Amino acid sequence: MSTNKQKQAHKPLEDLLKDYRHGWSLEQGFYKNPEVYRAEQERIFRKHWIFAGHTSQIPNVGDYFLLEIDAESIIVVRSNSGDVKAHMNVCRHRGSHICLEKHGTAKALVCPYHAWTYDLDGRLTGARQMAADFDKSEHGLHSAHVALVGGLIFISMADEPLSLTPMYEGLGDVFKLFGFDNMKLAHHQSYAIDANWKLAVENYQECYHCAPSHPEFAQIHAMAGSPAKFAANKERYIASLDADAAETKTKLKELNGYFDLAEPGIEGFQYGRNPLYEGALTGSVDAQPVAPLLGKLSGYDGGASEFMLGPLSFFLIYDDHMLGYRFTPTGQDKCVGDLYWFVHADAEEGKDYDKAALTWLWDVTIKADEDIIVNNQKGVNSHVYAPGRLSEMEYFEQHFLNWYLKAMGRT
């Protein structure tokens, strides 16, 4: 590694934050400096709410799955009371992982190392041959906070989690309209990406790349067009709707809390609705329905909603199905993109929807994104890399960068 590249890659976090230039991408050190990555674990991943999965993945008592974020592993389990609980997957004896499979069913959580046993609420119920003064009540599993948005499960590893009250109050009618409490998971797919997690999130934040990189997406979503073309399509879309209808008003609600605009102690969230191209009804190979209508919708209106909670969890809501995106690190230069496809809880595979048709658009889109993001990382690794000027179509990425810099300590 050249001396210049070493200086770029290991520039101290304090200097990186101080030297950031608004309207430009991040310096190399934000992606390559191990100090930065360690700070992100504490200031971002162990502080903010993160989408973990869906209640339909754990329908019965004892059902569980793991959420893994770099070195952290969290057991999300259905307890005996029927509640959703989250426990750190770390035995209180000597630290072994307890659940070794990605998902399963268990009557109790038993450490495979020395057989310490915990109930589904995380209480220690069995510890062999311990001293007489050993108090099992003081050695329960460390828990994470759980919040439900309909059937969506979010967890926070913070001691005091950020408040979700403004989100619930602001979007309660949206969640009800789209039937967030009456969906099920139709498919989940993980995509390993050899790149820093921020490059994956940044890629999701902008559609400047959509037209040249995602022709399938760009034929359906008007946001892939130029700002002027998008504005014209949004005007056309809104004019086609019944302005007096309660459903229209709910769908078109805009809550631009953006990550960087959230008040202290509040988790940032955002909701808005954008048009598809005229004649398109949903995200599919022919832009026509692939599943029954969600929630209490009366019909298709040619739009799609975006809901974002925190900096890592994103949802795209068509009228007949919903996509969930999550990007989490597995290392400094590696991350995972998890995609979740949701349909109405009563929809039956093979009768009401075909999984291949349901997943086609976003499977092909994220596979293209994999190449884009990995190539981006390769360029960021170069000794000649320097931040580039953001375009007008990358305004939402700027919001993410604003939030990220603030979360990392920039004043």
Render pLDDT for 202-245 as a digit per residue (tens, 0 to 9): 999 999 999 999 999 999 999 999 999 999 999 999 999 999 99
* pLDDT of res. 256: 72
Does residue 258 register a pLDDT over 80?
A: no
206 in the same domain as 72: no
Average pLDDT over residues 109-137: 97
Average pLDDT over residues 314-339: 97
Average pLDDT over residues 173-183: 98
168 in the same domain as 142: no
Element (H, E) at 336: strand 334-344
Residue 182 DSSP one-character state: G
173 in the same domain as 119: no
264 in the same domain as 348: yes
Q: Is residue 330 part of a domain?
A: yes
142 in the same domain as 178: no
Cα–Cα distance measured from residue 360 to residue 284, given in angstroms and rounded to the nearest whole number? 7
Q: Which of 119, 148, 177 is the last residue of a domain?
A: 148
CATH of the domain at 308: 3.90.380.10
Number of domains in the chain: 2
Cα–Cα distance measured from residue 224 to residue 236, given in angstroms and rounded to the nearest whole number? 16
170 in the same domain as 122: no
pLDDT, the chain, mean: 95
Q: Which of 122, 148, 174 is the last residue of a domain?
A: 148
* pLDDT of res. 28: 97
* pLDDT of res. 359: 98
C-alpha to C-alpha distances, 186 to 216, 295, 358, nearest whole angstrom: 22, 16, 9
Cα–Cα distance measured from residue 108 to residue 82, given in angstroms and rounded to the nearest whole number? 14
Encoded amino acid at 157, one letter: M
**160: Cα within 13 Å, side-chain hemisphere:** 3
Q: Is residue 153 part of a domain?
A: no
Does residue 257 register a pLDDT over 70?
A: no
Distance, CA of 408 to chain centre:
19
Does residue 263 register a pLDDT over 90?
A: no
Does residue 6 register a pLDDT over 60?
A: no
Q: Is residue 393 part of a domain?
A: yes
Q: Judge whether 44 and 407 are in contact, CB under 8 Å.
A: yes
Return the SS3 of 192: strand
Q: Which residues contact residue 273 at a Cβ distance below 8 angstroms, ignoring those fewer than 6 apart?
A: 251, 252, 253, 254, 303, 304, 305, 306
**Which residue segment(s) compose the domain that 278 sits in?**
164-407
Instruction: Tell me which residue has tokens 């005996």.
Output: 80
Q: Judge whether 267 and 162 are in contact, CB under 8 Å.
A: yes
378 in the same domain as 302: yes
212 in the same domain as 136: no
* pLDDT of res. 10: 85
Q: Which residues contact residue 55 at a Cβ distance below 8 angstroms, ignoring those fewer than 6 apart?
A: 84, 148, 151, 153
CATH of the domain at 124: 2.102.10.10
